[in-house]
Amino acid sequence: MTTENRKEMTAERTDEIDHGVDVDAHREFIDWLAEHPREGRLEFRATGVTEPTANRTTTTIGDWALGGEAMGEEREHTLEFGLPPELEDAMGYLEPTDRYEAIEGALAGLTACINGTIAYNAIRDGIDVADVTTTVRAPVDLRMLFGIHEIDRADEMYGELEIDVEVTGDLTPEERTLVREYPKRSPVYTLVTLEHPNRPRVEFAA
């Protein structure tokens, strides 16, 4: 988004604030995005580096891109993935350590994205949503991970994903109908529930 765009968007605003967001600025951003879809296209990135102990990875989140323009070069968020200590102990780890598992990280991201999606859409539609709590459960069968099942049985790895969303607020029946559809607009919900065909690029360094 250019400086000119920002100036245009701030020309006329009220003082309405909802969920810590300037409502007019928020709606103006949506209008800008509708008119400039290419400029508004985001790319988020994460880089994970293995540690000496199996399945432990330090992941860094930093730069990202908006409309092809690099941003956030000074950002650096570090996430440490692993397993719960009981699993590490059962799997032969010499020094079990409690970290969150990568699946838990994905589920945590899904809860945050659903909550944010509901808030954004409630602001846009003028619906008085007070709080949102999302709980996600994913039953997992690890036999493919450990080579017991072949890759062609990937569709057997997960049981049904359970997503429970609790919304508080004085909503009309019509507003509740709208809010029930909001989670399906979540980018992470789309990421984990729809098929995105790809083939990982594996390169080798000496």
Q: What pLDDT band is residue 3 in, cutting at 50, 70 and 90? A: very low
Task: Judge contact between 59 and 79, C-beta under 8 A.
Answer: yes
Name residues whose C-beta falls within 8 Å of residue 104's C-beta, 6 or more positions apart in sequence. Answer: none
Residue 79 has pLDDT above 70, yes or no: yes
Give the tokens for residue 103.
């699946």
Tell me the domain boundaries of the chain.
39-100, 101-196
Q: For the segment 106-137, what is each residue's pLDDT rounded down to a tens digit?
A: 999 999 999 999 999 999 999 999 999 999 99
Q: DSSP readout, 133-162?
A: EEEEE--B-TTTTTTSS-GGGGGGSB---E
What amino acid occupies position 106? A
**Predicted local confidence at residue 58, as pLDDT:** 98
Let me know: does 182 contact 121? Beta carbons within 8 Å. Answer: yes
- Condensed to tens digits (0 to 9), the pLDDT of residues 5-17 reads 544 544 455 679 9
Residue 170 is predicted with a pLDDT of 94
In the prediction, which pLDDT does 15 show?
79
pTM, entire model? 0.89
Q: Which residue, among 68, 72, 76, has the nearest Cα to 43 in the 3D structure?
A: 68
CATH for the stretch 101-196: 3.30.300.20
* Percent over 70 (pLDDT), the chain: 93
- pLDDT, position 14: 62
Chain segment 31-70, per-residue pLDDT in tens: 999 999 999 999 999 999 999 999 999 999 999 999 999 9
Supply the pLDDT for residue 7: 47
Separation of alpha carbons 119 and 113, rounded Å: 10
Which has the minimum average pLDDT: 99-108, 162-171, 197-206? Answer: 197-206
